[in-house]
Chains A and B, each alone.
Chain A
Amino acid sequence: MKILERPLLKNKTSATGILLFIVLGVLPFAAAFIYALLYSFGLVGVISSGFTTEFWVSVIKTGSFFKSLGYSAAIAGIAVFLSVVIALWLTLKFKSALENKFILMMVYMPLAIPGLATAFFIIQLLAKGGFLSRISYASRLINESNEFPDLVNDNLALGIILAFLTMIIPFFMLLFLNVYKNERIEDLRILAYSLGATSRQVRNKVVLPILLKKTRVLIALYFIFLLGSYEVPLILGQESPQMISVLVIQELKQYDLDKIPEGYVVAVMYTIIVAIAAVFLFLPRKREQYV
């Protein structure tokens, strides 16, 4: 009897899990997406006047969505790339130091700081009237605050990228450290050396491939996460182009009520693109084990 009951119980538990996931995760999202889709075609909304494609045409025609998407992708891509490179270097260089609990705790610390606070720190530190600018002025490196380089709300999104780096480098460092331990990379490294490999060969053929292969999905997910981030680009970004989430909110809150559906067009287009990217990311590698 017991042998028969177990799979039944297991099936029941997994069915409840799936149901909960669908009810709490999929259903609200699907309802919101359909609502946004209907809104974007003027089918719902307080002042909607029936089906129209004018909002889609207008968004596609102005091109601000694509500009914004490209800008967001570039910032997220650069931030993720730099974070991974810096985190890899720090992890491999200071591996033994990072085993010290106090140092490890210091690495954890930035993870507890919300993005909003990080953005304000960056403003306080790097704005033309900020801490570094004042130090430069006091030490006569500059004659007036306007001579201090543009590091926030700037053209190159340096402030945003810096904020992202401070937020995600610690995360990747902890991730790489874990993978390093779990995959017993140290043992493999010693083995490779004993088989006559050079340091460069060990790094390029053993350590890096394992670390990157085991973490690539998380790296890609972080890219998607940064693509849609809001508070940091809102505070540190410029007015045009804007990162995609800032653009969506701006469109939704615009004063011309007749154009609010354009915000929903942007949100729907963005959702579709991210969903397609996620499908590409997960489907072909279904059988792989992720960290």
Chain B
Amino acid sequence: MTKLIQYLTLLFLALLSASCGSDTKRTTLDLENTDWETLVDSTSGKTVNFMMWQGSPVINEYINNYVVPTVKERYGINLQISGGQGPEIVQLVIGEKQAGIAQGQVDMVWINGETFFQLRKLDGLWGPFVDKLPNSKYINFEDPFISVDFQQPVNYMESPWSISQFALFTDTLHVANPPKNLEELERFVKENPGTFTISNDFTGMTLLKSFMAELGGSPKSLDGKFDQEKYDRLSAKLWDFINRNKKYFWKSGETFPKEQTKMKQLFASGELKIAYGYGEGGIEENVRSGLFPNTVKGYAWDNGTIKNSNYLGILQNAPQKAAAMQVINFLISPEAQLKKASPESMNANMVLDIDRLPEAYQKLYAKTKTRKYGPSMDDLKEHVIQEPAPEYMIKLYEDFRTAVIEK
């Protein structure tokens, strides 16, 4: 029995030390001295694990039925998709770092500025690599909406994949003149109680940032580094606005939808009369799929809404960095971006600079069908706000809970 206890103690200590293991040495790729051809020569037959948000059927369709077979056919790369967005990616990186796993289970990730900020903090991203991708020549890195992510310089540590602007939408059959500023919104919720809400997620917090910028007096009021004093002042006004009106929100403001998909369902079922989202509202696919009626239209907010890019990154402990670079290079190719831009596909704006594309692609792009229901990014260009520093989002999340939800 004593021996048994000794063995068990040893096993226990081994488990504990394994769980608190220190960092092991990372594998690095000598990119400086390797040309692109040599680099990608080695990628055939490799499996790349791509962690991405899988909440949209059109995105899944684009990835599973176009990207996966194409990279397999052209480069012999097996692209495997796993579901997960910001928090899941961060949790994965934290877990693997703590366990000292040198060869992680995911190679590339689809992220936004907030996750970029967290992954940089954790030293979880590998790079810089974007300037090594041949197709990066089509990207205009002078564009601040591409080269600066949540006020942080991208520095080629992540590759832009799509660019989009936040917009609101409504069913014009029921709401002829939707609110376009906070004053009108206050009037609207009082006249239409229960038909507006704020989703307690990335989308909802993005709306709150636009509201905060309006309370600051201009689309540029949140530009620059995080300013605590400015945040305190503007957020106090924001919570005051929400708390005095939330009794007219969905479910009298006693609870809020957890995420935007839920909010879109509420909009589709008629409970909400106004909703919002990235991708200039992202309504095209929903109207085409029949979730929304064809009377739904997107519109601009007077003081502007956030415009930003989303990106593809490679994790520090990715086992197949070269193959992941190959996949990302394909995803930012004119061909893949053009396919993605089609309203029948993902209907995402090209992240490439049209003027830099080969003439044939410029002609093809000109022929791309325009949207029927959602506004284009061009329609919204007079109403644009650059993503504020990530601390605004992090603080808004926490304070929205304590100052609004729990009040």
Given contacts A27-B15, A46-B97, A239-B255, contact A255 B118 (CB under 8 A): yes
Instruction: Determine if B78 is an interface residue (Cβ-Cβ < 8 Å).
Output: no
Identify which of residues 1-51 in chain A touch chain B, using a CB-to-CB cut-off of 8 Å: 15, 19, 22-23, 27-28, 30-31, 34-35, 38, 44-47
Determine the chain A residues whose CB is within 8 A of the CB of B265 once the complex forms. Answer: 129
Binds A, one of B30-38, B86-94, B175-183, B374-382: B86-94
User: Which residue from chain B places its CB closest to the CB of A259 in the assembled complex?
Assistant: B398
Report yes or no: B122 in contact with A27, Cβ–Cβ below 8 A: no
Shortest C-beta distance, B216 to chain A (Å), equals 22
Report yes or no: B406 in contact with A64, Cβ–Cβ below 8 A: yes
Shortest C-beta distance, A25 to chain B (Å), equals 12
Determine the chain A residues whose CB is within 8 A of the CB of B121 once the complex forms. Answer: 47, 257
Instruction: Determine if A155 is an interface residue (Cβ-Cβ < 8 Å).
Output: yes
Instruction: Determine if A153 is an interface residue (Cβ-Cβ < 8 Å).
Output: yes
Report yes or no: A153 in contact with B251, Cβ–Cβ below 8 A: yes
Report yes or no: B20 in contact with A35, Cβ–Cβ below 8 A: yes
Task: Count A-B contacts at CB 8 Å.
Answer: 98
Instruction: Determine if B222 is an interface residue (Cβ-Cβ < 8 Å).
Output: no
Report yes or no: B122 in contact with A257, Cβ–Cβ below 8 A: yes
Identify which of residues 14-36 in chain B touch chain A, using a CB-to-CB cut-off of 8 Å: 15-16, 19-20
Report yes or no: B118 in contact with A23, Cβ–Cβ below 8 A: no
Instruction: Determine if A214 is an interface residue (Cβ-Cβ < 8 Å).
Output: no
**The residue from A15, A31, A146 contacting B12, defined by CB atoms under 8 A apart:** A31
Report yes or no: B255 in contact with A240, Cβ–Cβ below 8 A: yes
By secondary structure, the B interface counts as: helix
Instruction: Determine if B302 is an interface residue (Cβ-Cβ < 8 Å).
Output: no
Determine the chain A residues whose CB is within 8 A of the CB of B257 once the complex forms. Answer: 153
Instruction: Determine if B223 is an interface residue (Cβ-Cβ < 8 Å).
Output: no
The CA-CA distance from A45 to B93 in the complex, in Å, is 12
- Count residues of chain B with CB under 8 A from any CB of chain A: 44
Per-residue CB contact flags for chain B residues 1-21 toward chain A (1 = under 8 Å, else 0) read 000100010011001100110
Per-residue CB contact flags for chain B residues 269-280 toward chain A (1 = under 8 Å, else 0) read 111000000000
User: Which residue from chain A places its CB closest to the CB of B8 in the assembled complex?
Assistant: A22
Determine the chain A residues whose CB is within 8 A of the CB of B19 once the complex forms. Answer: 31, 35
Report yes or no: A239 in contact with B256, Cβ–Cβ below 8 A: yes
User: Which residue from chain A places its CB closest to the CB of B18 in the assembled complex?
Assistant: A31
Question: Apart from A129-B271, A130-B269, A145-B270, what 17 extra A-B contacts exist at CB < 8 Å?
Answer: A27-B15, A31-B12, A31-B16, A31-B19, A46-B98, A128-B269, A129-B270, A145-B271, A153-B257, A154-B255, A241-B406, A253-B87, A253-B90, A254-B87, A255-B118, A256-B397, A260-B94
Interface positions of A (Cβ within 8 A of B): 15, 19, 22-23, 27-28, 30-31, 34-35, 38, 44-47, 62, 64, 127-130, 144-146, 150, 153-155, 234, 238-241, 252-257, 259-260
